[in-house]
Amino acid sequence: MRTAFLASLCGLLFVGTLIVSAQSTVSPVEGTWKTTHTNDDGNTASTVYQFHASDGRLTGQVEVAWGNLSIEQGTISDGRFAFQIHMGESIWKYDGQVKDGNLSITVHDPNMPAATLSATRLTEEQSRFVAIPPPPLHVVPSNGLAKTPLMGWNSWNYFQGRITDAIVRQIADAMVSSGMRDAGYTYINIDDTWEGPRDSSGQLHPNKKFADMKALADYVHARGLKLGLYSSPGTETCAGYPGSYGHEEQDAATFAAWGIDYLKYDWCSAFRLYPDGDMRAIYQRMGDALRKTGRPVVFSISSGGKEHVWTWGRLAGANLWRTTDDINPGWKRIENIGFSQSELAQWSGPGGWNDPDMLEVGNGHLTPDEQRTHMSLWALLAAPLITGNDLRSMSAETAAILTNREVIAIDQDALGVTGRRILQMGLIEVWTKQLANHQLAVGVFNRADHAQVAEFDWNALGLNHPAQARDLWQHKDIPLTGDRFRREIPAHGTVLLRFRP
């Protein structure tokens, strides 16, 4: 699930010149090869290349923890070859040649320095993964957490592999000083790349970026906040760090001893071991392990929305489950994710929530209207509000959007109902969400690239001549006259209203 981690991941696994011994009489590239690379924080990651050469064509794949990437437009002639790979939305180009009995391959990316790696040929037996059998299915008892959608911050969207102990402490301080904590944001979640080696007993340790995880948890807790971590049911995380495969109970006990309050569990690399149909059983394994510790730990499933996770996530012990692949700070991606969630509403509610991924408010080049639409739609969806921006340097405008308590109250409403699309008129959409005390939230969205007038009858929403509503972005009560709503809405903009009986 890590298409966003291109630059850092490729720095670990792909960038540079690959040197292998030419042992095949047919073609020096034919076969399966494995490279290893130790990055700056001491983690050793691996990449597997499968090359096939025939009739001037080079085919195969590059295997990383989050998936297999197909070689495209591969050619080979007179010892020289070239190919490319789609890495998310980017294309990485490679070329190489046989020289002095070795095979070299160089990736061309102006944003990353080159590195030279050596590879060894893998036998068929070495290439094969043998998995621990999945446990029998059962229902993991509820942990009693997440009565309303989770609120907090996650390191991935902005920092990715650059996250450190020092940055987490600064973010915790900024969560308090910015007013985010008082607005309801509680969790400080460290995503991938915190993991270090396992010792001889299998005990997992943080890498050198995080010298003492227990001390970090104490620092976060002292500020009235909670700390979260990330792992995978596979052998590696998405970024190639140690996963929890075969160490589920041991890792859960370690997390509990450190004082961890939240675990995001990502399917990356588990695909090498299990078919997607085994997901529930494999996630259940960690759900059981967390319950066994006796510590209240929020459990987050990150599987890119595969296998209709919303239908069974709660049964595996989870409090939230990703319904989509990764978000990014572009309007089109946010739009495509957010407006696709209406049909999943029935599966979300107190204790277990649909998760359309983290907030990108404050990231990228989103306009103020796009950011308010993002926040409004996530609130109507009763989605977890896990922001992913740099809290230390966010603008006053970003802080005002994220800490708008009237909008947050829609998300955090005690009834726990997920909003749905009620009307669609071209690129104008109207969504409603039932609230406690017979109240109603209404979002009117303009998905067009230009301003449009939104107009509809109140009775289409089940409202009989409402006299007054609260505009949650303008922070004022507005009179409503006549039988119809009519307002011009800017491009990618929103009107978010709250009606009281």
Exposure pattern of 463-487 as b/e (b: 16+ CB <10 Å)? beebeebbebbeeeeeebeeeebee
Beta bridge partners of 420: 432
279-293 helix and 248-258 helix, angle to the nearest 10 degrees = 40
Instruction: Output the CA angle 454-456-459, nearest 5 degrees.
Output: 150
Active site residue 326: yes
Token code pair at residue 246 = 């075969």
Spatial distance between the Cα atoms of 276 and 131, rounded to a whole number of angstroms? 13
Q: Which residues contact 37 (CB under 8 A, 6 or more apart)?
A: 12, 13, 44, 45, 46, 47, 115, 117
Q: Which residues contact 90 (CB under 8 A, 6 or more apart)?
A: 6
Active site residue 266: yes
Give the chain's radius of gyration (CA, Å).
Answer: 25
Spatial distance between the Cα atoms of 246 and 499, rounded to a whole number of angstroms? 52
Q: Which among 288, 326, 355, 369 is annotated as catalytic?
A: 326
Helix, strand, coil proportions of the chain in percent (round to 5)?
Answer: 25, 35, 40
Q: Which among 109, 191, 261, 266 is annotated as catalytic?
A: 266
Spatial distance between the Cα atoms of 171 and 165, rounded to a whole number of angstroms? 10
Active site residues: 266, 326
